[in-house]
Copies of this chain bind each other. A is one copy, B any other.
Amino acid sequence: MLSKKSQYAFKALTYLTERFNDGPVLISEIAKKKKIPLKFLENILLELKKAGILDSKKGKGGGYFLNKSPEKIKVATVIRLINGPIAMLPCVSLYFYERCKNCNEKHCGLHDMMIEVRDATLNIVENRTLKDLIV
């Protein structure tokens, strides 16, 4: 399951995608419209900014905005950033790989199955962007 934080992140990003090219959007506006706790949203947006997905402007007329166009921000990137690994096991993760202690990965049925699951998931989330999330 995606954490609440991830769910909030996607709501906020969806909102910023709809507002893309409208200039900076206030944190408070996003929080209000998307019903996200304000201070918690601050943390999330800051994290997204540090990762280069968002940028911000201080002072009057300031706020947050997407740093690239929505079709260049992959869903998979956001999940990995806020939620962590997409794979179900560390030993089948591409970005968070860890060797499996007690199976040799060559003859492990669970391993093989989880690779299939990972690929089926990646096939979707690697090929969708924020733009695909607005209907």
Contact (Cβ within 8 A) A35 B110:
no
Give the residue name and chain of the B residue nearest to A101 (CB).
B35
Tell me the complex Cα distance, A121–B87, Å: 11
Give the residue name and chain of the B residue nearest to A102 (CB).
B35
Contact (Cβ within 8 A) A109 B135:
yes
Stretch at the interface among A6-14, A21-29, A45-53, A56-64: A6-14
Contact (Cβ within 8 A) B10 A110:
yes
Interface size in chain A (residues, C-beta < 8 A) = 36
Tell me the complex Cα distance, A72–B89, Å: 23
Q: Cβ of A125 < 8 Å from any Cβ of B?
A: yes
Give the residue name and chain of the B residue nearest to A107 (CB).
B135
Q: Please name all residues of chain B whose beta carbon is closer than 8 Å to the beta carbon of A85 when the two chains form the complex.
A: 1
In the complex with contacts A1-B90, A7-B89, A102-B35, A120-B124 CB distance below 8 A: yes
Q: Please name all residues of chain B whose beta carbon is closer than 8 Å to the beta carbon of A128 when the two chains form the complex.
A: 113
- Provide a sorted-by-A list of 7 A–B residue pairs whose CB atoms are within 8 angstroms: A1-B85, A34-B102, A75-B113, A107-B135, A109-B134, A116-B124, A117-B121
| Residues of A bordering B, CB below 8 Å | 1-2, 7, 10-11, 14, 34-35, 75, 84-85, 87-90, 101-103, 107-110, 112-113, 116-117, 120-121, 123-125, 128, 132-135
